[in-house]
Amino acid sequence: MKGSILADIQHQFKIGDDKGGLLQTAFVISYMICAPVFGYLGDRYNRKYIMAFGVFLWSLTTFVGSYMNEYYLFLFFRSLVGVGEASYSTIAPTIISDMFVKDVRSKMLALFYFAIPVGSGLGYIIGSETARILGSWHWGLRVTPVLGMLAVLLIMFVMEEPERGQSEGYSHLTTTSWTEDIQLLCRNRSFMLSTAGFTCVAFVTGSLAWWGPQIMWSGLKMQEGYEDVTINSVSLNFGIIAMAAGLIGVPLGSYLAQRLKVHYPKADPLICAGGLLISAPLLFLGLALADKYNYLVLVLIFFGQVSLNLNWSIVADILLYVVSPTRRSTAEAFQILFSHAFGDAGSPYLIGVVKLINRFSLSKLHKCKLDINISEILKKLFAKGTIPLLLASMSLASNNLQASSGDKQDNINNFHSLQYALFITSFIEVLGAMFFFFTASYIVKDKELAETETPGWPSYTPIVN
């Protein structure tokens, strides 16, 4: 439900950017709240049936929600989609960890996690194209449940669930209480710091996935020769970029980790930190130039997302080797809860609200007389309590106080208000890099601790691939 579909939904329900962003926030809130429940169940009961239930619920609620013609009913079913997604997102990585170890596990996790950015990119392409061909955004939500039901059949009749700890040579492991699991996870510094870093990744990913096509569309319309460009075409291009970035970024991160970890045990968190530090300026420049250089912006956004995608499989691998097999589902659930609560649960809504604030500031600024100097304008804005002053002054600099009116000025204000709001993401990426640098200080010790605290260690000899 992205790109042009979001614009169509906003038009049908007559909602603004704040309620448009709330659709994604509601989904993520239910997703993160249900994750601990499925984490508890996944450490104690049959994971195969729990995953099948989750995929079935996801498919059903997505399909039924597409028939809702009232905003709050649509919002309700959108939130139920998060319940279904919480089950398999929490449990699937732990099944992979019980089937493979070492480099093979890293490769399988890379294969699993590249489905996230690639699936997101396909969502733009399939959703927008299906909606365009069939003439309604509703059909963009009705095509994916068919694939979901196919996944249910594969889980039920093809997948076999491994015993917990099987790949590492353990058998008949006993679980500890949920309270003890949480206490041990909170004392695991590598797990907590890498989760904080991944939270920053989730914030940026959520913001770009929701608002990326709109900022590119708004910027492109301001360029000569692109005045009539449609958001459908922009969403298609953005989806292709997101998918290609996932296809390259996720396996690249896994490859770098496997190559460097042999000689540098701290390589995993350092690669994550480096990816974020590279991505931050690339995305910042892409946003800053979105109204000037179309092809350069596409290149910047592409490489910015490639660098961002280096994190996905590595963070998952870190969790699995610093946490013992008996509490990995709980750890996955905790990471989902934390990263989404402070990451992409609120980021689409936050960006939408900041955009509205910026738009109000810019519209107020445009009403000021252009022959008044900057300091006098800022004084007036301050007296009226208009915020943010910094963004208003940036608007003056970028537009050189040139007058325009009507729809053109409205488009300019709309673009810059969203642009300034999305600049936040680059600063969040730098913060995430700092968390991963701190993770590197503890990761070797915490990995050794996870091995020694596993029930049965060292009575069982780990299987070596």
pLDDT means per 10 residues, the chain with 465 residues, are 62 73 76 82 81 86 83 85 79 80 74 67 65 71 79 84 63 66 88 94 87 83 76 77 85 89 90 95 90 86 92 86 82 83 77 73 58 45 47 41 50 77 90 95 89 52 38
The fold adopted by the segment(s) 177-458 is Growth Hormone; Chain: A; (1.20.1250)
Return left, alpha or beta for 281; rule: phi > 0 is left, psi -120 to 50 is alpha, else beta. Answer: alpha
Check: CB of residue 420 under 8 Å from CB of residue 246: no
pLDDT for 276 equals 96
Q: Quick one: tokens of 200?
A: 């920053």
Q: What are the start and end residues of each CATH 1.20.1250.20 domain in the chain?
A: 1-164, 177-458
Distance CA 112, CA 257 (A): 16
Could you check whether the bond before residue 388 is cis, i.e. omega within 30 degrees of 0? Answer: yes
DSSP string, 275-297: HHHHHHHHHHHHHHTTTT-HHHH
* Ramachandran assignment for 400, one of left (phi > 0), alpha (psi -120 to 50 degrees), beta (any other): left
Q: Give the per-residue pLDDT at 387.
A: 43
* CA angle 270–273–274, rounded 5-degree value: 85
Number of CB atoms found within 10 A of residue 318's CB: 28
**Phi/psi class of residue 406: alpha, beta or left (left: φ > 0; alpha: ψ in -120 to 50)?**
left
Helix (H) or strand (E) holding 7: helix 4-13
In contact, 185 and 331? CB cutoff 8 Å: yes
CB 377 within 8 A of CB 396: yes
Name which CATH class applies to 1-164: mainly alpha
- In the prediction, which pLDDT does 338 show? 85
pLDDT tens, position by position, 217-271:
888 888 777 777 777 778 778 878 888 888 888 889 988 988 898 889 899 999 9
Side chain identity, residue 10: Q
Instruction: Please report, rounded to a whole number, the percentage of residues in the chain having pLDDT higher than 70.
Output: 76
Q: In a 3-state reduction of DSSP, which class is residue 137?
A: coil
pLDDT tens figures, 370-412: 444 444 444 454 455 544 444 444 444 444 434 344 456 667 7
Task: Report the pLDDT value the prediction gives residue 73, as an integer from 0 to 100.
Answer: 87
Q: Which residues contact 357 (CB under 8 A, 6 or more apart)?
A: 387, 388, 417
